Structure 1
Amino acid sequence: MLNWAGNLTYSATDLRRPATLDELATALEGSGPVRALGSRHSFNDVADTTGVHVQVDRLDDGRPAVDLDPATGVVSVNAGLRYGEVSRALHPQGRALGNLASLPHISVAGAVATATHGSGDANRCLAGDVVGLEVMTTAGELRRVTRAEHPDVFGGTVVSLGALGVVTRVELATSPTFAVRQDVAVDVPWETVLGSFDTLTGAAYSVSLFTSWAERSVRQVWFKSRVDDGVGERPEPLPGLGWATTELHPLPGVDPVACTPQLGVAGPWHERLSHFRLEFTPSAGDELQSEYLLPRRHAVEAIVALRRLAPRVAPLLQTSEVRTVAADDLWLSPFDEDSVALHFTWHPRGEDVAAVLPLLEEALLPLGARPHWGKLFALDPVALRELYPRFEDFRALAARFDPDGRLHGGYLRELLG
């Protein structure tokens, strides 16, 4: 079985898709390796195993797949659901999630476990909305961990890389539903970006910059603005911005039919916060991805460093995206302070991409960068775990949930040592 991009063949000998909690417990029986598998959107082997893969996308635990508590606003969802499916069920009930990733096709549990994120100065990664989760351990024990009841270990159970067990449900905080308009500025000068980075990223609820690093200007800046009563003005953070008059795709020359509506037409949050529509299957096998997350205070310095590397990086790129992410308190989240995310969508040239990653890390690691857990990077696992102050606490927590190390597989096995 291949991952989403087709660059990795999983080592698992079997795939189980239990329909009940009893079937899940049976799938976890035995002494061999086992591992949860989400929507397969990881580009590395962090979710791999030499034993049994388990997916919970068919799991029915006797409760509604999207179960909203109107008194608290907390929604409990089947962990295998995709964010787009959760959003479509939540919006008619008058509730919203705080943010979405660029793709609504990723599973809730997988995105949370790897600290996947959207964008926005005040928006935390998707795991930041988690207030509780239920996880079945390799012993077949179903445990519920919440922020309120287990503050001592909660920070280690959310971004867990699947090291604690198979997550069956995720509890997410919600807010009243809201509308968003999306406007795209084009050909924004680098001088504007570098000189007014905070102004630019603070001009809307969510802001994304797209570039190849070699262009004389930033090709596109996507502004996603919250609006009241479905009416709002286009953000005007800086004078002289040129605004797109037709809808655009982040990749030059690609038909934007799969993208969420732009041109300032307001609509529901879940139809604007992602870059792409749920009803369009994203490309598979046509790209590789890397991403580095670093303190926001080093954003301009990192951008300057990447522009110097443009002759090596740009020929391999389809596009690169710059986003901001707010801080959280989760042990293995790279966002322990307000951060900037530098994302790279590569052409599917694995050897060439592998050769350029050490150059990126040489430039970005001194600035406090850490790689996204589910994407391609070169950093040695021993060096990587030293970048997380709570890593030894996490290793101890993983040993409590999985004392026999049956969940150790792929990069996680090397990471936990």
Structure 2
Amino acid sequence: MFLFPIISQASWEFDNITNKKRVDEGSNKKSLKSSGYWNLEFKIHIDNNWSETKSTYEWCSGSGTWSDPYIIENVIVNGGNSGSPILIENSKVYFRIKNCTFYNSGSGYYPLLNEGGIKMVNVTKGTIINNTAFDNRVGMVLDNSENNTLSGNTPNNNNGEGILLYRSNNNLVWGNTVNNNNGAGIRLYRSNNNTISGNTVNNNNGAGIYLYIRSNNNLVWGNIVNNNNEEGIRLYLSDNNILSGNTANNNNGAGIYLYQYNDNNNISENIANNNIRYGILLEESNNNLVWGNTANNNKRSGMYLHHSDNNTLSGNTANYNSDRGIFLHYGNNNTISGNIAINNYYGINLIFSNYNDIIGNKLFDNNICYSKDETSRENTFKSNLCVKNEPSEADWIISGVIGIIITSIILIGLSVLFWQFKRKVK
């Protein structure tokens, strides 16, 4: 009957002795402070005990209020390849971690046990600023944490992601440099209403920025996302996000890729140039607005809709792409309006795509202005301007075809008035 209380009391006494020993050890490590930095030989673990940490260690100050947050600064922690160099749990007070270096965490397992240079679990009101994290499983981890700010940090050369938000909402991630990580630069997993802004996310082995599985209502704005081994920005099963003003160039995949089941997103005023595949690619993604983007000099198409319906592509520029300016493949009920496509092989190309409105586009100096195969029906091509395009050999006829409505077309220069099929339709 009394065994559990005895064991519990013994365990408490042992932990107390251990904690006292660690406190004493920490107090005796003043000699490790040099050049304004504390080089700790133990990991930092705060579990709703900021006041105890402050009273024990000189490198922690403050009182946890908005005007006087707890501050940990100028600390270097080696994780010893086990656990996270700094782990903060169950914290609801204001705190700030700045000018610290955290490295050599344990590996953990994605996503629940991921160890990070900095790991925060069930935390609010934290500001992580101007820190460095390298050689960790993940540079920085927010797990079930809200209303935190990550700013000016450098999580580079980590074994997984640079920054990972897991089930974490209403956080601000801005002005960080997130390069050369073995996974994605910044990944959100089931994380909503976050702002990802002004970050430089280059040369990562995965996507630069990845919104993964039900990461909804996020703002991804003004980031530089170049030279990543996969896509610049990738969404999977994520809705109602805004991707605006980002630069996604020279990535090995697409500049911006909506991969399966991404609906009602706003993709606006981004630059997606010189990517190995596509500038902007939507796959099995519906009801998205893609407007005011630039997708030039990509190895395949500037903009590609694959099995994607009810999307609007408006006011975009898709020039000098090796294949198509704008390509619809199994895309239905889309609106393609007011775009400019210059010097592509095809200006606009439709295959197995029906009931689309192609309206008011400017298609200049393409080998073929507009092309659709005989499997594409009931598309409207209206008020478009084709200038100095070569005639298509496979796409247009005057009569005998069900499936294209042509009004107000202007053809100038080397073009002819209408195109003819190689094979006549009777």
Normalised by the size of structure 2, how large is the TM-score?
0.21
TM-score (norm 1): 0.22
Q: Which has the higher strand share?
A: 2
In our comparison, the structure showing a higher alpha carbon Rg is 2
